[in-house]
Amino acid sequence: MTSPKNRSNSVRKVKRRTPQGTTTIYKRRVKGMKHACAVCKGNLHATHSLPSLPKSARHPTRIYGGNLCHMCTGKAIIYAQRVKDGSMQETEVEILLLPYVKPLLKK
């Protein structure tokens, strides 16, 4: 019987053909997790953890790509512009977005 560590759903089965021509099943741990937005915890699209891929295939190349989703990035940019214009105070910005809004104010 399979050992207890390999009975989990986080174990993937890999079929490999041996030099003798028989097929064996290796059990390997599933690599990594889905990348999540730092603010809303939603899934990030177009992200990958494999270091063998080119950098442009591992995360989007826009500002905060790979950290924030497109909705939260848009919010951060809008809040930064409003604070710059003076129509909004820095204290009114959502507390989770503040670390992403502050660097945009310096630009």
Q: Quick one: the chain helix, strand, coil %, rounded to 5?
A: 35, 15, 50
Residue nearest to Zn ion (CB): 37
Which among 91, 62, 64 has a CA at the least distance from the CA of 76? 64
Looking at residues 33 to 92 of the shown chain, list those that interact with Zn ion (rule: CB under 5 A).
37, 39-40, 69, 72
Q: How far is the CB of 85 from Zn ion (least distance, A)?
A: 24
How many residues interact with Zn ion (rule CB under 5 A)? 5
Q: Which is nearer to Zn ion, 39 or 83 (CB)?
A: 39
Q: How far is the CB of 71 from Zn ion (least distance, A)?
A: 5
Q: How far is the CB of 42 from Zn ion (least distance, A)?
A: 5
Q: Rounded distance, CA 34 to CA 47, Å?
A: 8
- Measured from the Cβ of residue 77, the count of other Cβ atoms closer than 10 Å reads 15
* 79-86: long-range pairs with CB below 8 Å, 24+: 80/104, 80/105
Q: Which is nearer to Zn ion, 27 or 102 (CB)?
A: 102
Report the interface residues with Zn ion, using CB under 5 A. 37, 39-40, 69, 72
